[in-house]
C-alpha cells in the first residue's frame, strides 16, 4: 500500500474517533485567532494610512530642491497612479497697501490627491469643499493673509512678474501640517503661475514636489522604482514619516494594534505546540503496531507526514474561514463608532496566516514525528523500550523561526516584535526550567508525604514531561493575556490622556516683544487654557565648532528660543540643563542633534540681522513632539534676547465661548497671526479614540481565544489523570483523596505559571512602555496582584471543573479503556 493511501486511510479512520480532532481544534483556534486579529488590524492600519494620506494630500510624495524629471512623472502614469506637481516657496508678496512674507504653493490639476480643500467666498463666510484649484491668474488666500495685506476678495496681489486676482478665501488644506512653525500665511496659486513668475532663480529656496496616489501595491512599486533614481537632496515622504503629530499618532496606533496581533501570535504558537505534541504522542502506538505488522519506516513516515499535511490544510482552511468571520464580527461591533472607511481584507494577510500555522505545525510536530521513526518495533512487546523523542538537532528551529518571521514582516515593527516574541521565548525557557525544578522537588516531597498530598505531588512528577509542557503553555498564555490587560488598562489610557480636552488648538505668531505681555493678559482674560508664550528668533547657523555646516534641510535658517529652565515635555538625555542665570549655553533636541551631527561640547554660532550669538552645547533633550506644546529644536540661555532680533509666539486652548473675543483681540494686533489647528487636533483625536476603541474589541476577542488555549492546555493530561485516579480509587482511596490530590496538583501548576507570567508581563510591559510607547509607566501593584490572583484561580478553577468528570466515571469503565 502506498503512503498516500495509507495516510488517507489513517486520516479517515482516526477521524471518527475524535483523537485527531484535538489537533485540528488546536490548529483551527490558532489560525482563527491570528487571522481574525491580523486581518482586522491590517485593515485598520491601511485605513489609517489612507487617512494619513490626507496630511500629505497624497499617498507618497517625492520632494526635492530641484525640478522633478519628466520620466518620473511618466513612471507614475505607467503604474496607473494619479499624480500632481507642486512647487512651494517663501516669498514676499505685495498688495497696493502692504507687503509681507508668504508661503506660496503652486498646484496643478488633481491637487489634492487625498483629502479636499475648503474655501469660502468671503473672509467670514461659510466654507465649502471644492475639487477645483485656482485658475491661472487667480489666487486663494488664507484669511489672515487678507488682514496682513489689508485687502479683500477681488483685490490684486503681486507675485514676482504676475498680478493675481484674489478669487476665494482658503480655509483648509489637508496638507497644511501643524505645529508652531507655519509662520507665514498661505497663498495657493496655479502651478504655471509660479513657474513663470520669475521667482525660481538660484538663491530662492524652492521645494518641488510630485504627489502620487493610487492602489497600495502600485504606490509601493512606484516607490521601489523611484528610490534608486533619487537625486541629491530628493527624498520620498510617506504619511507616517511626515514629522507631524498625525504621523506620531499613527505610529502609536499601529503599535497598539500590533500588540494585539503579536499576542494572538503567541497564543497561536502555544495552541499549535500543544496540539502537535498531543498528536505525535497519540501516533506512537500506531507506529509500533504498523511496524510489527510489517510496514517499513519510510512508508510510515511518508504516511504520517501526509496525514499531518491533510490535517493542517483542513484546519487552516477552517481557521481562515472562522478568522474571516471573526474580523467581520469585530468590524460589525465597531461599525457604529468607526468613521474610518475600512478597506477590504487582503489575501496576502490570509496567506501569511496560513503559512504561519503550516510552518509552526511543521516545526513543532515534525521533529518528534521524525523521531518516532526510530521507535523500535520491539516496543510493542516491551513498553519500557519507549524512548523520548529527541529534539536534539536544532534544525526544527528553522520552520518555527520562519513562521514567526511572517507576522514580524507583516507588522514591520521589528523592535516591538523582538520585545514581545523574544520576551515570550525567554519566559518560556524560565517557565520550563522552573517547572522542571519543581518536578524534582515534588518528587522528593511526594515520597515523604501521605494521602492526598502524595497522590497530588506524585501525579505531577509522574507526568514530568507533560507537566513541564503544561506549565509552560499556561504561563505563556497567561502572560500574553496579562500583557493585554496592562496595555489596555495603562498604556491606552495614557495615550487617550495624551490629548486632553484643553490641548492647545491655537497658535499666535509674530507678536513683537512689547506686545507679548498685554496679549498674554488678554488671552488669560478670555479664559484661554494651557497658555504658553515663548520668544523665538529666526537665525542663520553659520558655524559648528568653527566649521561651516553642510547645507541640509535642518540647518541654514533655524528657529531658536531661550528659557531659563527645562520646559515641560522635555527630558535631558545627555549633559545637564542650565540653571537660571547661566549664559553661553545651548540645548538641542535629540533628533536635530543626530541629524546635524552635533554633540555636547560643540560650539555653535548663529547670525541674525548682523548680530551673532555664540555658545556651547551643554545638553541634549528628548522632546515629546506628540504633546501639542510649543517646542524647539534649539534652546539657548536667555542673554540671547539682548543680541538677536526676535518675536513671540503663543499657544493656547481657546474655549468655544471665547471665539468672538479672540477675533476681536486679533484685530487689535494686525501684525500678529492667529492660527487655528483645531482640525488637525480633531484628526489626531479621531485616530486615538477610534483605534483605542478598536483595540478594546480586538483585545477582548484575543482574550477569548487565549482562554480557549488555556483550557486546551489544562485538558491535555486529562485522560491520563482519569486512568490514574480510577486506579487509586480501585485501590481503595476515597473520592476526597482524589479531589484534594487534584486540587494540590493544579495549585502547584497554577502557582508556578501565574507567578512567572505576572513577572514576565510586568517586565515586558515596562520595557514596552519605556522603549516603544515612550510613556512614563508605573507598574501598578494592584494590577499585578489582581492579575496573579485571577490567573491562579482561573487555572485551578478550570482544571478543577474539567476534572470533575474524572470523579464521576466509574473506575471499572476507565480501566477497561486504559
Ligand X SMILES: Nc1ncnc2c1ncn2[C@@H]1O[C@H](COP(=O)(O)OP(=O)(O)O)[C@@H](O)[C@H]1O
**20 vs 541 by CB, closer to other proteins:** 20
Dihedral angle, C-alpha 399, 402, 408, 410, nearest 10 °: -110
Residue 437 binds which of other proteins, ligand X, none (CB < 5-8 A, kind-dependent): none
Cell numbers of 183, please?
Answer: 509662520
Q: Which is nearer to ligand X, 339 or 382 (CB)?
A: 382
Q: Does 778 bind ligand X (CB under 6 A)?
A: no
Of 379-408, binders to ligand X (CB under 6 A) are 382, 385
Q: How far is the CB of 379 from ligand X (least distance, A)?
A: 10
**125 touches which of other proteins, ligand X, none (CB within 5 to 8 A by kind)?**
none
Query: Using the rule CB under 8 A, is 808 a contact of other proteins?
Result: no
Q: Which does 128 bind (CB under 5 to 8 A by kind): other proteins, ligand X, none?
A: none
Cell of 739: 479531589
Distance of CA 700 to the CA centre of its chain: 18
DSSP state of 501: T
Q: Does 704 bind ligand X (CB under 6 A)?
A: no
By C-beta, is 131 or 386 nearer to ligand X? 386
Residue 390 beta carbon to ligand X: minimum distance, rounded to whole angstroms: 17
Q: At its nearest, how many Å lie between other proteins and the CB of residue 293?
A: 5
The beta-strand segments (E) located in 220-320 are: 234-238
End-to-end CA distance of the chain: 30
Measured CA to CA, the distance from residue 204 to residue 194 in angstroms comes to: 13
Question: Left (φ > 0), alpha (ψ -120 to 50) or beta: where does 337 sit?
Answer: alpha
Residues 354-383 that bind ligand X (CB under 6 A): 382
Between 2 and 382, name the residue whose CB sits nearer to ligand X: 382
Provide, rounded to whole angstroms, the least separation between the CB of residue 297 and other proteins. Answer: 6
CB of 306 to other proteins, least distance (A): 15
- Give me the 287-316 binding string for other proteins, x by CB under 8 A, dash otherwise: -xxxxxxxxxxx------------------
Among ligand X, other proteins, none, residue 295 binds (CB under 5-8 Å by kind): other proteins
Residue (376 or 668) nearer to ligand X, CB: 376
385 or 801: CB nearest ligand X: 385
Query: DSSP for 634-653?
Result: EEE-TTHHHHS--EEEEEEE
Work out the number of other CB atoms within 10 angstroms of the CB of residue 773. Answer: 22
Per-residue contact track with ligand X, 661 to 680, x per CB under 6 A?
Answer: --------------------
Contact 303, 10 (CB under 8 A): yes
To the nearest whole angstrom, how small is the minimum distance from the Cβ of residue 457 to ligand X?
27
Report helix, strand and coil shares of the chain as percent, to nearest 5. Answer: 55, 20, 25
Residues in contact with 693: Cβ distance below 8 Å, sequence separation at least 6, in sequence order? 334, 337, 338
What are φ and ψ of residue 163, in 5° steps? -105, 130
Residue 14 contact partner, candidates ligand X, other proteins, none, CB within 5 to 8 A by sort of partner: other proteins
In the region spanning residues 75 to 134, those forming contacts with other proteins, defined by CB under 8 A, are none
Instruction: Tell me which stretch binds other proteins (CB under 8 A): 8-16, 87-95, 477-485, 771-779.
Output: 8-16
Q: How far apart are CA 818 and CA 813, in angstroms?
A: 9
Please say whether the dihedral angle defined by the alpha carbons of residues 450, 455, 457 and 462, taken in this order, is positive or negative. Answer: positive
CB 382 → ligand X: shortest distance, Å? Answer: 6
Q: Assess contact for 508 and 519: CB atoms under 8 A.
A: yes
Strand segments, DSSP code E, in 576-725 are 585-589, 603-608, 611-623, 634-636, 647-653, 673-676
Query: Rounded to an integer, what distance in angstroms lies between the CA atom of residue 198 and that of residue 107?
Result: 17
Task: Please answer whether residues 455 and 728 qualify as being in contact, where contact means their C-beta atoms are separated by less than 8 angstroms.
Answer: yes
Place of cell 534608486: 228
Binding to other proteins by CB under 8 A, coded x per residue (else -) over 238-277, reads: ----------------------------------------
Nearer to other proteins, 2 or 776 (CB): 2
Q: Distance (Å, rounded) from C-alpha 53 to C-alpha 250?
A: 11
Pick what 711 binds: ligand X, other proteins, none; C-beta below 5 to 8 Å, kind-dependent. none
| 186 or 379: CB nearest ligand X | 379
Question: Min. distance of Cβ 372 from ligand X in angstroms?
Answer: 18
Do you find a cis peptide bond into 112, omega within 30 degrees of 0?
yes
Site string for other proteins, 357-396 (x = CB under 8 A): -------------------xxx-xxx--------------
Nearer to ligand X (CB atom), residue 383 or residue 448: 383
All residues at 6 or more sequence positions from 5 whose CB lies less than 8 Å from its CB, including other chains: none
Does 335 bind ligand X (CB under 6 A)? Our answer is no
Q: Mark the segment that binds other proteins (CB under 8 A) among 15-23, 305-313, 561-569, 770-778.
A: 15-23
Alpha-carbon gap, residue 288 to 258, rounded angstroms: 45
Q: Which is nearer to other proteins, 9 or 205 (CB)?
A: 9
678 to 717, contacts with other proteins by CB under 8 A?
none
- What secondary structure letter does DSSP report for 554? T
| Numbers of helices and strands, H then E, in the chain | 25, 21
Rounded CA-CA distance 683/242 in Å is: 15
Choose the contact partner of 292 out of other proteins, ligand X, none; CB within 5 to 8 A by kind: other proteins
CB 311 within 8 A of CB 358: no
State yes or no: residue 803 binds other proteins (CB under 8 A). Answer: no
Q: How many residues lie near other proteins (CB under 8 A)?
A: 33
One residue of 93, 166, 286, 761 binding other proteins per CB under 8 A: 286
Which residue's CB is nearer to ligand X, number 386 or number 552? 386
Element (H or E) spanning 71, and its range? Answer: helix 70-78
Answer for the pair 474, 795: CB distance below 8 angstroms, yes or no: yes
The CB-of-290 to other proteins minimum distance in angstroms stands at 6
Judged by CB under 8 A, the stretch of 89-97, 284-292, 400-408, 462-470 that binds other proteins is 284-292
Q: Radius of gyration (Cα) for the chain, nearest Å?
A: 34
Residue list 457-496, contact with other proteins (CB under 8 A): none
Q: Using DSSP, state whether 608 is helix, strand or coil.
A: strand
By beta-carbon proximity to ligand X, the closer residue of 135 and 292 is 292
Tracing cell 482563527 back to the chain, one arrives at 32
737 contact choice in other proteins, ligand X, none (CB below 5 to 8 Å, kind-dependent): none
Q: Is 793 in the site for ligand X (CB under 6 A)?
A: no
Binding footprint of ligand X on the chain (CB under 6 A): 382, 385
Binding footprint of other proteins on the chain (CB under 8 A): 1, 5-6, 9, 13-14, 16-20, 282, 285-286, 288-298, 376-378, 380-382, 816-817
Amino acid at each position: 500500500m502506498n503512503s498516500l493511501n495509507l495516510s488517507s486511510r489513517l486520516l479517515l479512520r482516526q477521524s471518527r474517533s475524535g483523537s485527531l480532532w484535538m489537533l485540528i481544534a488546536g490548529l483551527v483556534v490558532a489560525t482563527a485567532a491570528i487571522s481574525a486579529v491580523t486581518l482586522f488590524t491590517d485593515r485598520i492600519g491601511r485605513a489609517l494610512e489612507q487617512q494619513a494620506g490626507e496630511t500629505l494630500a497624497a499617498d507618497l510624495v517625492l520632494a526635492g530642491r530641484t525640478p522633478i524629471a519628466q520620466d518620473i512623472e511618466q513612471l507614475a502614469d505607467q503604474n496607473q497612479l494619479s499624480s500632481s506637481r507642486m512647487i512651494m516657496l517663501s516669498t514676499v508678496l505685495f498688495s497696493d497697501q502692504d507687503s509681507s512674507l508668504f508661503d506660496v504653493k503652486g498646484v496643478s490639476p488633481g491637487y489634492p490627491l487625498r483629502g479636499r480643500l475648503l474655501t469660502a467666498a468671503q473672509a467670514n463666510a461659510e466654507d465649502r469643499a471644492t475639487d477645483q484649484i485656482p485658475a491661472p491668474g487667480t489666487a486663494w488666500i488664507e484669511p489672515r493673509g487678507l488682514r496682513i495685506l489689508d485687502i479683500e476678495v477681488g483685490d490684486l496681489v503681486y507675485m514676482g512678474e504676475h498680478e493675481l486676482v484674489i478669487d476665494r478665501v482658503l480655509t483648509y488644506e489637508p496638507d497644511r501640517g501643524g505645529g508652531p512653525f507655519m509662520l507665514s500665511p498661505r497663498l495657493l496659486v496655479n502651478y504655471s503661475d509660479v513657474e513663470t513668475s520669475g521667482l525660481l532663480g538660484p538663491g530662492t529656496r524652492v521645494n518641488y514636489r510630485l504627489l502620487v496616489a493610487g492602489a497600495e501595491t502600485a504606490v509601493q512599486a512606484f516607490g521601489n522604482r523611484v528610490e534608486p533614481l533619487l537625486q541629491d537632496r530628493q527624498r520620498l515622504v510617506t504619511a507616517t514619516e511626515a514629522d507631524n503629530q498625525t504621523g506620531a499618532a499613527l505610529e502609536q496606533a499601529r503599535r497598539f494594534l500590533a500588540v494585539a496581533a503579536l499576542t494572538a501570535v503567541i497564543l497561536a504558537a502555544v495552541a499549535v505546540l500543544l496540539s502537535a505534541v498531543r498528536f505525535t504522542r497519540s501516533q506512537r502506538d500506531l507506529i509500533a503496531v504498523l511496524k510489527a505488522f510489517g510496514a517499513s519506516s519510510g512508508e510510515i513516515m511518508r504516511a504520517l507526514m501526509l496525514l499531518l499535511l491533510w490535517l493542517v490544510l483542513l484546519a487552516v482552511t477552517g481557521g481562515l474561514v472562522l478568522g474571516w468571520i471573526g474580523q467581520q464580527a469585530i468590524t460589525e461591533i465597531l461599525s457604529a463608532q468607526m468613521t474610518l472607511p475600512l478597506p477590504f481584507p487582503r489575501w496576502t494577510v490570509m496567506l501569511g496566516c496560513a503559512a504561519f500555522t503550516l510552518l509552526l505545525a511543521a516545526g513543532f510536530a515534525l521533529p518528534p514525528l521524525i523521531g518516532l521513526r526510530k521507535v523500535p518495533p520491539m516496543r510493542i512487546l516491551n513498553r519500557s523500550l519507549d524512548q523520548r523523542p529527541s529534539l536534539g538537532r536544532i534544525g526544527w528551529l528553522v520552520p518555527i523561526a520562519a513562521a514567526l518571521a511572517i507576522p514580524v514582516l507583516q507588522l514591520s515593527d521589528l523592535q516591538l516584535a523582538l520585545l514581545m516574541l523574544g520576551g515570550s521565548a525567554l519566559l518560556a525557557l524560565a517557565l520550563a526550567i522552573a517547572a522542571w525544578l519543581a518536578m524534582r522537588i515534588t518528587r522528593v516531597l511526594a515520597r515523604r508525604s501521605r494521602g492526598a498530598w502524595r497522590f497530588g505531588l506524585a501525579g505531577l512528577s509522574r507526568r514530568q514531561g507533560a507537566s513541564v509542557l503544561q506549565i509552560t503553555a499556561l504561563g505563556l498564555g497567561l502572560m500574553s493575556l496579562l500583557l493585554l490587560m496592562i496595555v489596555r488598562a495603562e498604556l491606552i489610557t495614557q495615550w487617550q490622556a495624551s490629548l486632553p480636552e484643553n490641548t492647545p488648538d491655537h497658535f499666535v505668531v509674530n507678536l513683537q516683544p512689547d506686545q507679548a505681555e498685554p496679549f498674554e493678559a488678554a488671552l488669560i482674560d478670555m479664559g484661554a487654557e494651557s497658555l504658553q508664550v515663548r520668544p523665538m528668533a529666526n537665525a542663520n547657523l553659520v558655524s559648528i565648532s568653527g566649521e561651516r555646516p553642510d547645507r541640509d534641510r535642518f540647518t541654514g535658517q533655524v528657529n531658536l528660543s531661550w528659557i531659563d529652565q527645562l520646559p515641560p515635555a522635555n527630558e535631558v538625555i545627555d549633559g545637564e540643563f542650565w540653571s537660571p542665570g547661566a549664559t553661553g549655553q545651548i540645548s538641542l533636541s535629540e533628533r536635530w542633534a543626530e541629524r546635524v551631527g552635533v554633540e555636547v561640547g560643540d560650539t555653535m554660532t548663529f547670525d541674525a540681522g548682523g548680530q551673532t550669538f555664540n555658545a556651547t552645547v551643554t545638553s541634549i533633550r528628548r522632546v515629546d513632539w506628540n504633546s501639542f506644546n510649543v517646542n524647539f529644536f534649539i534652546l539657548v540661555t536667555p542673554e540671547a534676547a539682548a543680541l538677536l532680533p526676535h518675536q513671540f509666539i503663543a499657544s493656547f486652548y481657546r474655549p468655544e465661548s471665547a471665539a468672538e473675543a479672540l477675533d476681536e483681540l486679533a484685530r487689535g494686533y494686525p501684525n500678529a497671526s492667529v492660527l487655528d489647528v483645531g482640525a488637525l487636533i480633531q484628526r489626531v483625536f479621531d485616530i486615538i479614540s477610534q483605534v483605542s476603541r478598536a483595540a478594546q474589541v480586538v483585545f477582548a476577542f484575543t482574550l477569548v481565544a487565549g482562554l480557549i488555549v488555556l483550557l486546551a492546555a489544562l485538558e491535555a493530561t486529562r485522560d491520563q489523570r482519569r486512568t490514574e485516579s480510577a486506579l487509586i480509587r480501585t485501590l481503595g482511596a476515597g473520592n476526597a483523596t482524589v479531589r484534594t490530590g487534584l486540587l494540590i496538583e493544579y495549585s502547584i501548576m497554577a502557582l508556578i505559571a501565574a507567578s512567572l507570567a505576572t513577572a514576565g508581563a510586568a517586565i515586558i510591559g515596562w520595557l514596552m512602555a519605556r522603549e516603544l510607547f515612550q510613556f512614563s509607566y508605573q507598574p501598578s501593584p494592584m494590577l499585578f496582584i489582581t492579575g496573579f490572583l485571577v490567573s491562579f484561580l482561573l487555572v485551578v478553577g478550570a482544571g478543577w471543573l474539567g476534572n470533575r468528570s474524572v470523579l464521576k466515571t466509574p473506575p471499572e469503565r476507565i480501566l477497561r479503556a486504559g
